[in-house]
Homo-oligomer: A and B are copies of this chain.
């Protein structure tokens, strides 16, 4: 069987772990399932990650970093702040491959009682806010957005909160909250936050 360098195999295992959480949930996640998905032995997974808990933590961090990477690339584009903000927000919403949201709801739940996971999520969230805040500041300087009373950081927090909440609604009431509606509502929210009627 094809042997691979540790770094490569670890990435594979992390990806498989996320897929498994995505499709079956964290509560029923078995090391053996992750292994089978790659045609490997459970022992190997432990060999690389020592414990299941560490595997899960690494998998969430990995998935989060991937999403952030993509978001940063969008933000580095040469378009208007508003366009970039819209696209970053669209990417944050459910649908993107890794951004399937189920894993994040599972992650929050686990994070409630796992300090390491909680720290991971806090760090990821901070990065997302930084990206949004930076786009907001850029837009303000370019005159695309008005200079409101609240800091870009604060507005970023609110936007992310709204996105999280809508994602949950969409997750549980597919009928009541479609992706189209979400986009429309978020768009209005952002407009109200950044472009008060003059």
Q: Chain A interface (Cβ within 8 Å of chain B)?
A: 24-28, 102, 105-106, 108-113, 118, 121-122, 125, 157-158, 160-166, 168-169, 171-173, 176-177, 185, 192, 197
Contacts and interface: CB of A to CB of B under 8 A. Distances in A.
A102 to B, nearest CB: 5
Contacts of A169: 157, 160-161, 164
Contact of A27 (B109, B163, B166): B109
B105 A172 contact: no
26 contacts: A26-B109, A27-B110, A28-B113, A105-B105, A105-B109, A108-B168, A108-B171, A108-B172, A109-B109, A118-B172, A121-B172, A125-B173, A157-B169, A157-B177, A158-B185, A160-B169, A161-B162, A161-B165, A161-B166, A161-B169, A162-B165, A164-B165, A164-B168, A164-B169, A165-B165, A197-B197
Interface centre among A102, A125, A158 (most CB of B within 10 A): A158
Nearest to A27: B27
B25 A172 contact: no
Nearest to A159: B165
A176 B27 CA distance: 29
Given A27-B27, A157-B177, A111 B165 contact: no
Contacts of A173: 122, 125
Contacts of A106: 109, 112
